Amino acid sequence: KAGVTQTPRYLIKTRGQQVTLSCSPISGHRSVSWYQQTPGQGLQFLFEYFSETQRNKGNFPGRFSGRQFSNSRSEMNVSTLELGDSALYLCASSLWQGPTGELFFGEGSRLTVL
C-alpha cells in the first residue's frame, strides 16, 4: 500500500513569491492535515480537510490556504512568501474513524525562502 506522497520534496523561492505544495493521501483515506515544522516551533497544525471541506484551521495568517479535491488529494498554497515561512511542510492522512490520533505522514516538502 503506497504511503502519503508529497511533491515537490525540495524547493527554493524568494520573498514575495507564492508556492503550491501537493499531497496524495493513502488510498481510502479521506482526511488530510497539513503541518509546518520548524526547529524553533516544532510541528504546528495548519489545517485539515475532509470530503473537500476544511474541518479545522490552525493559527496561521490568511496567506496560508489549502484545498482538497474529490479524489482526496490536497494542495496548500502560501502567498507573499516571507523568510519565516522557510520550513518543512508535512501532510498527513487518516481514516475518518474518530479521533485516534493515528496520522500517516508524508516525507514533507522542504521550503527555503531567500
Partner 1 sequence: EDQVTQSPEALRLQEGESSSLNCSYTVSGLRGLFWYRQDPGKGPEFLFTLYSAGEEKEKERLKATLTKKESFLHITAPKPEDSATYLCAVQARNYGGSQGNLIFGKGTKLSVKP
Residue 60, interface with partner 1 (CB under 8 A)?
A: no
Instruction: State phi, psi for 84 to the nearest 5 degrees.
Output: -70, -5
For residue 83, the SS3 value is helix
For residue 84, the SS3 value is helix
Least gap, CB of 80 to partner 1 (angstroms): 25
Residue 92, interface with partner 1 (CB under 8 A)?
A: yes
Which CB, 62 or 101, lies closer to partner 1?
101
Residue 45, interface with partner 1 (CB under 8 A)?
A: yes
Least gap, CB of 77 to partner 1 (angstroms): 18
Which CB, 18 or 27, lies closer to partner 1?
27
Least gap, CB of 19 to partner 1 (angstroms): 19
Cα–Cα distances in angstroms (integers) from residue 76 to residues 18, 62, 65, 110, in the given order: 11, 12, 6, 13
Tell me whether the omega of the peptide bond preceding residue 61 falls within 30 degrees of 0, making it cis.
no
